[in-house]
Structure 1
Amino acid sequence: MTTIPSPLFDVRGRVALVTGSSRGIGSVLARGLAQAGARVAINGRDPQAVADTCAMLEKSGCDVCAAAFDVTSPDGVAAGIDRIEEWVGPIDILVNNAGIQRRAHFTEFTDQDWTDLLASNLTSAFLVGRRVAASMERRGSGKVINIGSVQSMLGRPGIAAYAATKGAIAMLTKGMCADLAPRGIQVNSIAPGYFATELTQALVDDPEFSRWVQQRTPAGRWGRVEDLVGALLFLASPASDFVNGQVIYVDGGMTAVV
């Protein structure tokens, strides 16, 4: 396991839940916390995918457990979090990462795609955040990290609905801070830029789009998922105890320039 150089960034023994962590960015965030010594609940809708990710992480010495439940269902959230608390204890760190993408021109966007985006990207963070924060309030401490996007600030053709949900994540973060900060809880957001993952592979492989990303990003490249782990550990650890209601853009400088 990774040696923690400073108690400021120590998350050893903390219980963490990362929603949507059976694949993609979520699995990397879960691995980062686990490698730093946290006990991490792996979540997703597909029990087999969750079990496979747990098995992979356990092989590298990570302390993880499977928590397959639907984060868009109030009953599913309540039952799933009850099981986590029964198995490993109260959740100290919540990472609201679950989300999907749908692309279409605004006037051609379907009602069902709009409903699905709201449920997966926004309602899930509300439902899981509300349930976990209630327990954190009773203990007077906790860390909530909501995963936003550069689309929390910027728009692009074809993803108006997605941008709306990610903009809402930024404001949900601030609203949660207003309610929860007096109870000793820090709520912040990480907003990734354009990252190369299995879900964005088609865009990575598109020469024109990749060229646009590289030119638009001051760092001159796509993000690597490991680039997110440092910001996550900062927000999940005592180092961020006086940081609250903030959106941290991990985007290679994209939102800093025109």
Structure 2
Amino acid sequence: MTRTVLVTGGTSGIGRAIAARFAADRAEVFITGRDPDTVERAAEELGVHGVACDATDPGQVAELAARFSELDVLVNAAGGLPQAEPGNGSALDAVLALWQANLAQNLLSAVLTAASVRDKLTSGGCVISIGSIGAERGGGAYGATKAALAAWSASLSRDLGPHGITSNVISAGYIAGTNFFRGQMTDERHRALVEETHNKRPGTVEDIAETAYFLASPGGRHITGQAIHVNGGAFTTR
């Protein structure tokens, strides 16, 4: 039976790779992004459905959810590292704006989307949210909101578990070839991040996509409430 998969932030980077992986399995995949032109182009290239939606806007999220009668897989890949916006306010105003932007993009986007489709998730389905090694590394506002994402996902797992639905976070380490660093990645920083790993290579978007695909497979049915660290050993757990 064909599965229905929704990937927020699916126009580039990790989200796009996850959408491509599920599309290769002949799932009916929907991707979202904030820019209509970008969404349309990515959807055409991937052979999936595209919906322009700002996952931090409750009205737009509700309209997105209304498209589905049932949903098998939700992947919360929307998010990123917000840029500090110049302004005329005080230094505290700037701090508040930065934290609010991180909360909106990296936590509330997932919370709103999951809440909007919660009653449409099928038994045997799953919610997968993309976290970050920054949650373990004192990553400022970004790391704090990714840590909160993991705590929320664990709570969601408890609520959805009795309905046969799993909820997990994939905590990604350094992933090369994305626009996360907005062109600010230096060769020195790249080498340092690779050196932290045990296998001495950067992660790829395909590493995360394959992990997401596994969590949505029969083999992942008893994995829930977890933060799955995919970082080549740069951060280890016991």
> TM-score, normalised to structure 1's length?
0.83
The reply to whether residue 70 of structure 1 matches residue 51 of structure 2 is: no
Which amino acid counterpart does residue 252 of structure 1 have in structure 2?
G
Q: How many residues of Structure 1 are paired with residues of Structure 2 in the alignment?
A: 229
Q: CA, structure 1 residues 255+103, in 2 after alignment: closer, same or farther (shift >3 Å)?
A: farther
CA displacement, residues 62-119 of structure 1 (integer Å, 9 cap, x when unaligned): xx11111111111111111212x1xxx4111000110020477xx8863212111111
Query: CA shift at 1:185, angstroms?
Result: 0.7
Which amino acid counterpart does residue 81 of structure 1 have in structure 2?
A
Which structure shows the bigger proportion of residues in helix conformation? 1
Which amino acid counterpart does residue 105 of structure 2 have in structure 1?
S
- SS of alignment partner, residue 53 of structure 1: helix
**Correspondences of 1:175-186 after superposition (within 5 Å):** 175-186=155-166
Contact 1:92 1:143 in 2 (8 A): yes
Counterpart of 1:82 (choices 63, 66, 71) is 66
User: 2: CA distance between counterparts of 1:220 and 1:202?
Assistant: 22
Counterpart of 2:23 (choices 34, 40, 46) is 34
Query: CA shift at 1:238, angstroms?
Result: 1.8
Query: CA shift at 1:184, angstroms?
Result: 1.1
Contact 1:203 1:209 in 2 (8 A): no
Which amino acid counterpart does residue 151 of structure 1 have in structure 2?
G
Counterpart of 2:120 (choices 135, 155, 164) is 135
The reply to whether residue 148 of structure 1 matches residue 139 of structure 2 is: no
Which amino acid counterpart does residue 150 of structure 1 have in structure 2?
I
- What percentage of aligned pairs have identical amino acids? 38
Which amino acid counterpart does residue 13 of structure 2 have in structure 1?
G
Contact 1:152 1:169 in 2 (8 A): no
CA displacement, residues 40-59 of structure 1 (integer Å, 9 cap, x when unaligned): 1010011110100011112x
Q: CA, structure 1 residues 179+241, in 2 after alignment: closer, same or farther (shift >3 Å)?
A: same
The reply to whether residue 193 of structure 1 matches residue 173 of structure 2 is: yes
Query: CA shift at 1:197, angstroms?
Result: 2.5
Contact 1:190 1:232 in 2 (8 A): yes
1:18 matched residue in structure 2: 7
- SS of alignment partner, residue 194 of structure 1: coil
Which amino acid counterpart does residue 70 of structure 2 have in structure 1?
P
The reply to whether residue 53 of structure 1 matches residue 42 of structure 2 is: yes
Counterpart of 2:107 (choices 122, 125, 128) is 122
Counterpart of 1:202 (choices 146, 166, 183) is 183
Query: CA shift at 1:203, angstroms?
Result: 4.5
Contact 1:154 1:163 in 2 (8 A): yes
Which structure shows the bigger proportion of residues in strand conformation? 2
- SS of alignment partner, residue 17 of structure 1: strand
Which amino acid counterpart does residue 118 of structure 1 have in structure 2?
L
> TM-score, normalised to structure 2's length?
0.90
